[in-house]
Amino acid sequence: MLQRISTLDATFIVLTAACGDALKPIIGPIAKLIGSALLLPGGAIAGAIYMMWPMLALLVVRRFGTALMVGFIQGIIVLITGFYGSHGVLSLLTYLAPCLFIDVCFWILKNYKNPLHLIIPPAMGNLVGTLTVGVLVLHIPAIPLLISLISAFISGCFAGGFAAGLHSLLSKSFPQFSKEESVD
pLDDT digits (tens, 9 = 90+) for 15-30: 999 999 999 889 988 9
Angle between helices 7-38 and 42-50 (to 10 degrees): 150
Residues in Cβ contact with 16 at an 8 Å cutoff, skipping those fewer than 6 apart: 53, 54, 56, 57, 70
In a domain, 182, yes or no: no
In a domain, 28, yes or no: yes
Q: Whole-angstrom Cα distance, residue 174 to residue 99? A: 25
In a domain, 54, yes or no: yes
Handedness of CA 46, 49, 54, 58 (dihedral sign): positive
Q: pLDDT digits over 22-73, tens only?
A: 998 899 889 889 888 887 878 888 989 999 999 999 999 999 999 999 999 9
In a domain, 161, yes or no: yes
In a domain, 115, yes or no: yes
For the entire predicted model, the pTM comes to 0.90
In a domain, 136, yes or no: yes
In a domain, 134, yes or no: yes
**What total number of domains does the chain contain?**
1
Report the pLDDT value the prediction gives residue 25, as an integer from 0 to 100. Answer: 87
In a domain, 173, yes or no: yes
- Average pLDDT over the chain, rounded to an integer: 88
Q: Whole-angstrom Cα distance, residue 142 to residue 155? A: 20
Domain hosting 112: range is: 7-177
- What radius of gyration, in Å, describes the C-alpha atoms of the chain? 15
CATH of residue 172's domain is: 1.10.1760
